Chain A
Amino acid sequence: MSLFVRRQLPIAIVSITAILVMADYFFRIAATGPIVRDLQNWGIILSAFALGFGAVNLFIVHTRHISKQTSNQWPYSIWLLFMVALFAGVGVFIGPTSTQYMWIYNASYFALSATLYSSTGFYIASGCYRALRARNVQSVILLVVGGIALLRNAPMLAAGYPILIDIDGWVNSVPTTSAQRGIMIGAALGAIALGVRTMIGRETGFLGRRTEAER
């Protein structure tokens, strides 16, 4: 009984929900429309609830650091939790588009986010120089195509040598698109298989930890 409720039932809910959503798309049935519309609303509300997970995880990890006084970490942990509280407090109580919120957002989060992700550019540049070497056929292909694209992506060179635009256009529309399409067809089948496995209860990652009965 308990295994049914704890394991089979959630899987059944997945299948029924998925079948409803698909049926509404493929079949002209009046009954499914309103149900699926409600389901989509629910999906959004549940996704919104799930947005809080990150903060809870951080809270668990960093309160542990603070209580254990992990060396070289706990002061940062206090600061991190303070930032969570600051953003949540200002955003919820004053408003996410208030002057105050926009101020902290632009001063910290915006600047940091944009910088952190762009910093990988340094590694890509270094990787370009170190790894784009003509060692064998594959690396020659990488080098030649990469080199052409590098030159084309410099607007000044592209303007001076329009042939670069033509060559790049060819690389883009013939080998790149076709190879990506082959990969896409494979990946689409992978996604379909994942969906099917989830619906028949063979992919149970979402169930999380296992209960006693399931072990």
Chain B
Amino acid sequence: MREKLQRGRGKEVEEMAVDLASVIQIWLAALFTIWAYSFAFRDNAFFKFAEHTFVGAAAGHNIVYAVDNVRRYGWDPLSKGATLYAVIFLLGLVLYTRYHKKYFWLSRFPLAIMVGIGVGLSLRAIVTAEFIAQIQSTAGMKVVGVDSFTAFNNLLFIVIVLAVVYYFVFTFPVLHGGSRGAISTFARWAMMAAFGYSFANALLSRITMIFGRLDYVMNTWLPLPGAILALPLALILLIYSMIPAKKRPWPK
């Protein structure tokens, strides 16, 4: 299976290599990858260049979809005769008065609509999804009539939920006085277990991502002609650019 995989990759590269545009694209993507990773070692000019490219591209990409969505959901109905959409178009443009020294308050009206929708959508659902449903699920756990291992787990689960909710009560100090402080300590320990678990998962996440990029560099870029020579050159330049400007001969 694995061999087939490797061979498959090779063929892909061959096919791609025919097309010059693809070759340039791969070179660029690979160099940007290397420059972006250099940040983990030290800040440098190549990273700065890569970062500015990224920020600019992201903003440009947002503009593209601003136009796309305004066209599809605003302009199309308007041009088909839904005149009410003219109002919302106007409101959308008014959003940009926020940059005007004097009339910036006009942008509060469209923002108020956005905020209002956001608040309404969130309040109506949160109370069920994140409050009642969680209470319901906890309250419905069985501690009797199940095997002893399940009973223990469920009991521990319930105790931790109760302790953590208790921990987050801030304004009734009497709840945390004296020996009741032990409840908070226990809650903190339980949360630490959860955080330790999350932390390890974050590492898994990042490893998978780094693999994706390194796989691209090694199996898509390096097989291209010249890449194997360009790699050490790129690395040397990178290391050079990491030397503080004062200590290197050129450029200052």
Contacts and interface: CB of A to CB of B under 8 A. Distances in A.
A50 B88 CA distance: 13
Contacts of B29: 106-108, 110-111
Contacts of A162: none
B164 interface: yes
Q: Give chain A's interface residue range (CB within 8 Å of chain B).
A: 35 or more
B160 interface: yes
A20 interface: yes
A116 B113 contact: no
B70 A188 contact: no
Which label, helix, strand, loop or mixed, suits the secondary structure of the B interface? helix
Nearest to A210: B105
A44 B130 contact: no
Which label, helix, strand, loop or mixed, suits the secondary structure of the A interface? helix
A147 B115 CA distance: 43
Nearest to A117: B209
A142 B192 contact: yes
Interface residues of B, number: 115
Interface stretch (B58-66, B174-182, B228-236): B58-66
B36 interface: yes
Contact of B123 (A18, A106, A146): A18
A141 B196 contact: yes
B171 interface: no
A160 interface: no
A70 B89 CA distance: 38
Given A43-B114, A118-B209, A56 B65 contact: no
Nearest to A56: B99
B197 A149 contact: yes
A9 B124 CA distance: 23
Contact of A13 (B112, B190, B204, B212): B112
Interface of A: 6, 9-11, 13-22, 25-26, 38-56, 58, 60, 76-77, 79-88, 91-92, 96, 101, 103-125, 128, 137-138, 141-150, 153, 170-189, 191-192, 195-196, 198-199, 206-209, 211
Interface of B: 21, 24-25, 28-30, 32-33, 36-37, 39-40, 48-70, 73-74, 84-85, 88-89, 91-93, 95-96, 98-99, 104-105, 107-127, 130-131, 134-135, 137-138, 153, 156-158, 160-165, 167-168, 187-207, 209-210, 212-213, 216
